[in-house]
Amino acid sequence: MIGLKNILNTDFIGKDIYYFKEIDSTNNKAYELAEKGAEEGIVIIAESQTRGKGRLGRRWESPYGVNLYTSIILRPQISPNIATLITIMSSIAVSDAINKSFNIVPQIKWPNDIIINNKKVSGILTEMDSNISLVNFIILGIGVNLNMDVPEYLKDKAISIKEIMNKEVSRVEFTAILFKMIEKWYNNFLKKGFESIIYPWNRYSMMEGKLIKVSSHGETIEGYSIGLDRDGALILRDRNGIIRRVIAGDVTVIQGDKYFSDFLKQENVIKQENVK
């Protein structure tokens, strides 16, 4: 990542960059620093992670010197109830950065996957420290597969930009553009809230109007995806017509049916049921 500071054109994201050749997880390091009072915008970057983290204790494959593994300390003055919107806003920033850098339009799979050719190119892991009413800090962790040869065991799930472009790409240039995009979308979000992200999110979303399956806390819900609510939760309508709200989970897209979704949106909501 030599030269990143020289080309970085941001106001506060990356004002200090802590750089590691190898680390357990950039999120852990950022969390540790934030607990000690590190300021918003401080960034950790590592060449490799020995215990790269996904959600729910899953592992993020983090080989040396080929991809981007970064964590950013944010201190938004928001309620923890809407912290998911930071993940949502970041998924737009990552998608914009990929689009701008490589002229590829990725898709977003709620809540944290960036997808190209039906495979995951990037994942986001946000972790937070808060009290009941206010966030203290959020660690925004982002992994992007840039020049990785995807290992055999992940080949049906994961892809890298190199595999799509058939050539190596510049990690430094991509990172500079990504930080710029994060700063732009984060500022937008702080100023205008949910309204600033809903349309751009819909543009990239791969789910709207599709039949999807969500596994959430051991339960599986099937239904047509209707979209996001104002807290960043996913709204679907199940086969019995019940509107379900999912705040965390893993989505599988079963089939596409855009007309059906447009039709559903015009109907009145009959019943509501929350799913934790």
15, 20, 48, 61: residue in contact with ligand BT5 (rule CB under 6 A) = 61
HEC assignment per residue over the chain: CCCHHHHCCCCCCCCCEEEEEEECCHHHHHHHHHHCCCCCCCEEEEEEECCCECHHHCECCCCCCCCEEEEEEECCCCCHHHCHHHHHHHHHHHHHHHHHHHCCCCEEECCCEEEECCEEEEEEEEEEEECCCCEEEEEEEEEECCCCCCCHHHCCCECCHHHHHCCCCCHHHHHHHHHHHHHHHHHHHHHHCCHHHHHHHHHHECCCCEEEEEEECCEEEEEEEEEECCCCCEEEEECCCCEEEECCCEEEEEEECHHHHHHHHHCCCCCEEEEC
Q: Among residues 76 and 143, whose Cβ is nearest to ligand BT5? A: 143
Give residues 106-125 in contact with ligand BT5 (rule: CB under 6 A).
Answer: 112, 120, 123-125
13, 53, 88, 90: residue in contact with ligand BT5 (rule CB under 6 A) = 53
Interface segment toward ligand BT5; rule CB under 6 A; list 8-16, 55-63, 92-100, 232-240: 55-63
Interface segment toward ligand BT5; rule CB under 6 A; list 33-41, 50-58, 199-207, 260-268: 50-58
Q: How far apart are CA 44 and CA 41, in angstroms?
A: 10
Q: Among residues 57 and 77, whose Cβ is nearest to ligand BT5? A: 57
Q: Among residues 66 and 242, whose Cβ is nearest to ligand BT5? A: 66
Q: Among residues 140 and 264, whose Cβ is nearest to ligand BT5? A: 140
Applying CB under 6 A, does 251 fall inside the site for ligand BT5?
no
Closest approach of Cβ 157 to ligand BT5, in Å?
Answer: 5
Q: Among residues 145 and 205, whose Cβ is nearest to ligand BT5? A: 145
Give residues 67-106 in contact with ligand BT5 (rule: CB under 6 A).
Answer: 69-71
**Binding string to ligand BT5 for residues 5 to 24, with x set by CB under 6 A, is what?**
--------------------
Q: Among residues 217 and 271, whose Cβ is nearest to ligand BT5? A: 217
Closest approach of Cβ 176 to ligand BT5, in Å?
Answer: 17
Q: For the stretch 214-224, what's the b/e string if a residue is b when 16 or more beta carbons lie within 10 angstroms of its beta carbon?
A: bebeeeebebb
| Terminal-residue alpha carbon distance, the chain | 41
Applying CB under 6 A, does 34 fall inside the site for ligand BT5?
no
Q: Which residue is listed with tokens 């982002």?
A: 142
Q: Among residues 141 and 223, whose Cβ is nearest to ligand BT5? A: 141
Q: Among residues 112 and 196, whose Cβ is nearest to ligand BT5? A: 112
Closest approach of Cβ 91 to ligand BT5, in Å?
Answer: 10
Q: Which residues contact 119 (CB under 8 A, 6 or more apart)?
A: 156, 157, 158, 159
Applying CB under 6 A, does 157 fall inside the site for ligand BT5?
yes
Judged by the rule CB under 6 A, the positions of this chain that interact with ligand BT5 are 25-27, 49, 52-56, 58, 60-61, 69-71, 112, 120, 123-125, 141-143, 145, 154, 157-158
